[in-house]
Amino acid sequence: MLLNVDHTTLYRYDRPVRGVVQSHRLTPSRFDGQQVLDWAVTVSGGSMGGGFRDGAGDWVQGWTVAGPVTEIEVRVRGQVQTTDTAGILRGHKELVPPEAYLRASAATEPDEALRALAQILINAESPLAGSHALAEAISEAIAYKPGSTQAQTTAAQALAQGEGVCQDHAHAMIAAARAADVPARYVSGYLQSGADGGDHEAAHAWAELYLQGFGWIGFDPANRCCPDARYIRLGSGLDAQDAAPIRGISRGQGTEILSVAVAVQTQEQ
């Protein structure tokens, strides 16, 4: 599938800030399931700094914007050729051992309810069957409802209220998997369409579990599937904060207002 991405993140400040430093994970991953044909990231008024590929295989690029500034636009435009690998992350080069993703974070600390979900994976006939069953159980336990949670909502809190977004589904999947002693991590990226086939108007997130004999496999409880050709993988981390496509800091007292627009469309080949 040929996917075109147009992703704009706009930062506005109610008073000028003296400068901004950002770290981006906005370059698609290198693996068998996707090939970047064209990709560009621009930052209004920005200067590109150093970049490197980290131990998880993600490209991290630094940017700085000198102030005073009241508005910064980060624009991503590109084209990616994708193929369906049944969710398996084949051909992805990384140095971090899977066991590193057994460590819990604040967002994925398991409570009693999440440990109960982990029993699905522990008691399954096979890790693969258990992972699919766990993803289905999380889909049932956390209804998809935009705006029902915040960026700081934990997996335990989302499960308790029974509502959330893709970030919450991924965090719950990760927390339960780790409680079952299965390495799991958070993945950020894009999705061309939701389960109804309509346009997906936001960046997306899912979980990857490391299963012996398969390696890393993606699971998207929010859409009840494994990542397929509609998905573009950007990067991974212990949780949403760790895997954030854009991280940064501003110098000054201005209050930041953030707006994001994402369009992912197919192109006929």
Q: Is the pLDDT of residue 200 over 80?
A: no
Task: Check residue 195 and give its pLDDT.
Answer: 46
183 and 66 in a common domain: no
Quickly state the pLDDT bin for 202 (edges 50, 70, 90): low
Look up the CATH number of the domain holding residue 106: 3.10.620.30
Is-contact 80 36, C-beta < 8 A?
Answer: yes
216 and 96 in a common domain: yes
Q: Is the pLDDT of residue 201 over 70?
A: no
251 and 208 in a common domain: no
215 and 108 in a common domain: yes
CA distance linking residue 147 with residue 44, whole number of Å: 29
201 or 70, higher pLDDT: 70
Task: Check residue 252 and give its pLDDT.
Answer: 87
224 and 136 in a common domain: yes
37 and 123 in a common domain: no
The two beta strands, 163-164 and 143-144, are parallel
Global pTM reads 0.94
pLDDT digits (tens, 9 = 90+) for 92-106: 999 999 999 999 999
Quickly state the pLDDT bin for 203 (edges 50, 70, 90): confident
- The whole domain housing 92 covers 85-237
pLDDT digits (tens, 9 = 90+) for 127-174: 999 999 999 999 999 999 988 999 999 999 999 999 999 999 999 999
Look up the CATH number of the domain holding residue 77: 2.60.40.2250
53 and 179 in a common domain: no
Please, what's the b/e burial string for 169-203 (b: 16 or more CB within 10 A of its CB; e: otherwise)? bbbbbbbbbbbbebbbbbbbbbbbebeeeeebebb
Q: Is the pLDDT of residue 46 over 70?
A: yes
**Exposed/middle/buried for residue 143 (C-beta within 10 Å: 0-12, 13-18, 19+):** exposed
111 and 41 in a common domain: no
70 and 36 in a common domain: yes
pLDDT digits (tens, 9 = 90+) for 220-263: 999 999 999 999 999 999 999 999 999 999 998 888 999 999 99
Task: Check residue 253 and give its pLDDT.
Answer: 84
138 or 268, higher pLDDT: 138
**Exposed/middle/buried for residue 54 (C-beta within 10 Å: 0-12, 13-18, 19+):** middle
